[in-house]
Structure 1
Amino acid sequence: MKVTTIPFMAMRKIVAVFSILLILISIGSLATKGLQFGLDFTGGTLIEVAYEKAPDLDEIRTVLAENNYSDVVVQSFGSPTDIVVRLANSYTATLGDEVLTTLQEGGKQAVTLMRSEFVGAQVGEELREQGGLGMLLALAIVMLYVAVRFQFKFSIASVAALAHDVIITLGFFSLFEVEFDLTVLAALLAVVGYSLNDTIVVCDRVRENFRIMRDTEPYDLINDSINQTLGRTLITSLTTLFVLLVLFFAGGEAIHNFSMALLVGIVIGTYSSIFVAANLLLALKVTKEDLMPPVKEEFEDEMP
Structure 2
Amino acid sequence: MFKPIRLIPDNPNIHFLAIRTPALMASIAITLIAIVLIFAPGLNFGIDFKGGILIEARFEQTPDVANLRGEMEALGLGQIALQAVGTDGHDIMLRIPQQQDGDAGNQLAIQKVRDHFGSSVTEYRRIEMVGPQVGSELIKTSLLAVILSTAGILAYLWFRFDRAYSLATIAALMHDIIATLGFFAITQIDFDLSTVAAVLLISGYSLNDTVVVFDRIRENLRRYKSKTNLEVAHLSLNETLFRTMMTSGTTLLVLISLYLFGGEVIRSFTLALIVGIIVGTYSSIWLAVPVWLMLEKEKPKL
Name the TM tier (shorter chain): 0.7 to 0.9
CA distance in 2, matches of 1:110, 1:253: 21
CA distance in 2, matches of 1:137, 1:99: 42
Q: Does 1:83 align with 2:92?
A: yes
Amino acid of the residue matched to residue 204 of structure 1?
D
Q: Report the count of equivalent residues.
A: 286
From 268, 276, 289, give the equivalent of 1:278. 289
Q: Does 1:98 align with 2:108?
A: no
1:258 is matched with 269
Q: Does 1:27 align with 2:35?
A: yes
Q: Which runs of 5+ in 2 are unaligned?
A: 1-8
1:233 shift after superposition: 0.6
Q: Conserved in 2, the CA contact under 8 Å of 1:64 and 1:102?
A: no
CA distance in 2, matches of 1:157, 1:100: 53
From 134, 138, 151, give the equivalent of 2:145. 134
The percentage of aligned residue pairs carrying the same residue is: 39
Q: Deviations over 1:193-248 (max 9, x none)?
A: 11111111011111111111111111111111111111101110111111111111
CA distance in 1, matches of 2:43, 2:115: 31
1:40 is matched with 48
Q: TM-score, normalised by structure 1?
A: 0.86
CA distance in 2, matches of 1:67, 1:229: 54
Q: Conserved in 2, the CA contact under 8 Å of 1:46 and 1:117?
A: yes
Select between 23-32 and 255-264 the one with higher mean Cα deviation.
23-32
SS in 1 for 2:287: helix
Q: Conserved in 2, the CA contact under 8 Å of 1:96 and 1:113?
A: no
CA distance in 2, matches of 1:36, 1:53: 34
Q: Conserved in 1, the CA contact under 8 Å of 2:49 and 2:138?
A: yes
Q: Conserved in 2, the CA contact under 8 Å of 1:103 and 1:111?
A: no
1:99 shift after superposition: 4.0
CA distance in 1, matches of 2:207, 2:117: 50
Amino acid of the residue matched to residue 75 of structure 1?
L
CA distance in 2, matches of 1:288, 1:190: 36
Q: Deviations over 1:251-283 (max 9, x none)?
A: 111111111111111111111111111011012
2:131 is matched with 120
Amino acid of the residue matched to residue 30 of structure 1?
I
Select between 248-257 and 74-83 the one with higher mean Cα deviation.
74-83
Q: Conserved in 1, the CA contact under 8 Å of 2:65 and 2:82?
A: yes
1:186 is matched with 197
Q: Does 1:4 align with 2:12?
A: yes
1:102 shift after superposition: 2.3
1:63 shift after superposition: 4.2
Q: Deviations over 1:138-160 (max 9, x none)?
A: 22222221221121221111111
CA distance in 2, matches of 1:65, 1:201: 48
* Structure ID, larger Rg: 1
Q: TM-score, normalised by structure 2?
A: 0.86
Superposition CA RMSD, Å: 2.3
Amino acid of the residue matched to residue 151 of structure 1?
D
Q: Does 1:155 align with 2:163?
A: no
Q: Does 1:223 align with 2:234?
A: yes
| 1:62-81 equivalent positions in 2, closer than 5 A | 62-68=70-76, 70-79=77-86, 80-81=89-90
SS in 2 for 1:253: coil
Amino acid of the residue matched to residue 196 of structure 1?
L
Closer/same/farther in 2, CA of residues 261 and 286 from structure 1, 3 Å limit: farther
CA distance in 2, matches of 1:282, 1:11: 13
Q: Conserved in 2, the CA contact under 8 Å of 1:60 and 1:74?
A: no
Q: Conserved in 2, the CA contact under 8 Å of 1:45 and 1:91?
A: no
1:171 is matched with 182
Q: Does 1:18 align with 2:26?
A: yes
1:55 is matched with 63
Closer/same/farther in 2, CA of residues 94 and 195 from structure 1, 3 Å limit: same
